Structure formats: C-alpha cells, structure tokens
Amino acid sequence: MTAARRPAERPPGPLWRGLEAASGHALSVAGWCFLAMTLLICFDIVARRMLGFSSGATCELSGYLLGIGMSWGLAAALLDRAHVRIDMLVQRLPLGVRVWFHLAALLILLVVAGFFAWGAASLAIDSWQLRATDISQLRTPLVIPQATWAAGFALFVVVALALAGRALLALKQGRPADVDAMLVARSYEEEAAETIEASRESR
C-alpha cells in the first residue's frame, strides 16, 4: 500500500486564509441547510401520518434549502479535493504530464462554475426586476433564494480562480509535485486515514 499523498502547504497570505475561512463558513451554512431540510421533511411526514395536516410548504422550502446547501458547499469541497473525479488513467501518467491534465480539469471546472454563477445571478436579477414570487402558499419572493444560491456559486468561482492561480505559480516555479498534491483527487488511503483519525478524536 502506498503512502497517502498530502496536499501542499498552503500559502499563509491573508487572501488565501480569507478564502479558506469563507469556504469553511459556507460549508457550515450548507450543513445547516441540509439539517433544516431533513427536519422539515420529517415534521411534514409525522404531521401527515399522526396529526392529519401538512405544512403546505415543505416541497418549496426543501427545494430552496437543497439548492442553497449544494452551492454553498462547492468551494470547501474544491479546497478539500472532495469533488468526484474519474482519473484512473491520468494517475498512470508521468508527473510532468499528469499535472497538466489536473490543471486542464480545474480550468474546465472554472468555466462550468462561471457559467452556473452567471446564470444564477441573471436569474436572480430577472426575478428582482419582475418582482417574481413562488406560486405556493408562501408567495416567497424568488430573488431571495435565487440570490443566496448565486452567492454560493460566486464563492466557488473565486476559490477556483485562486486555486488555478496558485497552481500556475507553482508550475512557473518548477514545483509540479506541489501542483499534483493540491489538485489530485483524494485517495482511498487519505479517506481511510481521516476516518480513523476522526474516530480516535471522538473517543
């Protein structure tokens, strides 16, 4: 079994620390969104089965929470290298070639993230200008969940840009191993090691 690769040391600059902190806080918001969505759905199920009524807004609110939680967790997942990648063939390539595939994957991700951020922001602006509301009983102004959703994508784009800049700088300085460490998908050894460490800390 090969040793798990560790990500390169992150620069101590205030910009990077700020992005890490913002991504961590956004991930916490995402977690609370998923928890609130779960509790809301469970309450609605119990209310229907045992109390004979429904909130009437579970579908709407859980949809908002799911979308916001998803977008707000993207940046932290990128920093933790937790996004799913199929790179079995890439990992067999020499380091000097492999890092360029990693960088290409990141740049493609950046383009896709920019597309989603632009689309989400445009949708929120249109809803604000039209004063659009949901057709449910709550009549929620759509700009509120849509703008919150767009904010998560915007953070994702900023983090992806910063990570791409960091990778390009490392390549320019002749540090391909650092680029590989910061962009490679998480290995099963790392996942297992973190699980074991978390179980030890919980005791």
Residue 5 lies in a domain: no
Q: Is residue 58 part of a domain?
A: yes
1 belongs to a structural domain: no
d(CA 146, CA 127): 8
Distance CA 64, CA 148 (A): 9
Band of pLDDT at residue 191, cut at 50, 70 and 90: low
Tell me, yes or no, whether 8 lies in a domain: no
Measured CA to CA, the distance from residue 140 to residue 149 in angstroms comes to: 15
Q: How many CA atoms lie within 13 A of 143 on its CB side?
A: 8
Collapsing DSSP to helix, strand or coil, 133 comes out as: strand
Q: What is the pLDDT of residue 7?
A: 45
Note whether residue 132 is domain-resident. Answer: yes
Domain contains 170? yes
pLDDT reading at 6 higher than 60: no
**pLDDT-wise least confident of 23-37, 148-162, 188-202:** 188-202
Asked if the structure places residue 104 within a domain, the reply is yes
Q: In which domain, by residue range, is 196 found? A: 14-201
Q: How many domains would you assign to the chain?
A: 1
Average pLDDT over residues 182-199: 71
CB 85 within 8 A of CB 105: yes
DSSP one-letter string for 54-104: --S-HHHHHHHHHHHHHHHHHHHHHHTT-S----TTGGGS-HHHHHHHHHH
pLDDT of residue 180: 78
The SS3 call for residue 4 is: coil
Q: For the chain, where are the alpha helices, taking DSSP H only?
A: 14-46, 58-79, 95-130, 143-172, 176-183, 188-201
Q: Average pLDDT in the 157-185 region?
A: 86
For residue 41, the Cα-to-chain-centroid distance in whole angstroms is 23
Q: Encode pLDDT of 118-143 as tens digits.
A: 999 999 999 999 998 887 777 889 99
Residue type, 72: W
**In the structure encoding, which two tokens stand for residue 7, read together?**
């990500």
Q: Is residue 23 part of a domain?
A: yes
Handedness of CA 106, 173, 180, 166 (dihedral sign): negative
